[in-house]
Amino acid sequence: MARTAKITNANVAPRQNTAGLVGNTPVRAQDFNDLAGDYISSSDANAQTVASAVTVTGAATFTASPTFNGRVKEKLTLVDVDAQNLTITAARFLSGIIRHTSVTGGGTATMDTGPNFISGLGLSAVGESMKCTYINDGDQTVTFAVASGCTLSNVGNTVLTNASCTLICRMTAAATVDVSIADN
């Protein structure tokens, strides 16, 4: 049974309130905390529903995998590079969509270094990953290459003209990542 703390003296008889202090009793912080603690639990294991928007300004940590109802929305930014070769930097990867218009001969798309990917993508633990869509809308085949601290699951993989693939960058150690090429 919840305990109710006495917060005011509004329930006193008029003859006891000769000084006119009804409702003006100072509230001890402990009384308020006890009352709030009886009705609010920050460790309730039961399912909770929030009926309005929730904004998290810091990191959100989940002790289990979250379940999402419906589709997860992402804001993707298109980065367009018109050149024979390009470096897929962490910043370009983070944008979500890289459109490469390969021209004047077969090109190379070189991945950034492992440490750059880790810091630029905000990867902080082995196994964390991020994905990006790569589109070759040019008239030349493009071959993927790597820089130090980065491995490619599909070594020598190419993306043909007017084709695309999904790149998945996964942290494998403190300074290394592996980039997998999927859907090619």
CATH of the domain at 162: 2.60.120
Q: What is the DSSP string of 35-58?
A: HHHHH--SS--S-----S----SS
Asked if residue 147 belongs to a domain, the reply is: yes
170 with 86, same domain: the answer is yes
Asked if residue 5 belongs to a domain, the reply is: yes
| Number of separate domains in the chain | 2
pLDDT in tens, the chain (184 residues): 455 555 555 555 556 656 655 555 555 666 656 655 555 556 666 777 777 887 888 777 777 777 777 777 788 999 999 999 999 999 999 999 999 999 888 999 999 999 999 999 999 999 999 999 999 999 999 999 999 999 998 755 899 999 999 999 999 999 999 999 987 6
81 with 30, same domain: the answer is no
In 133-169, which positions are buried (b, 16+ CB within 10 angstroms) versus exposed (e)? Answer: bbbbebebebebbbeebbebeeeeebbeeeebbebbb
Per the structure, the complete domain to which residue 29 belongs is given by: 1-41
Asked if residue 46 belongs to a domain, the reply is: no
Asked if residue 177 belongs to a domain, the reply is: yes
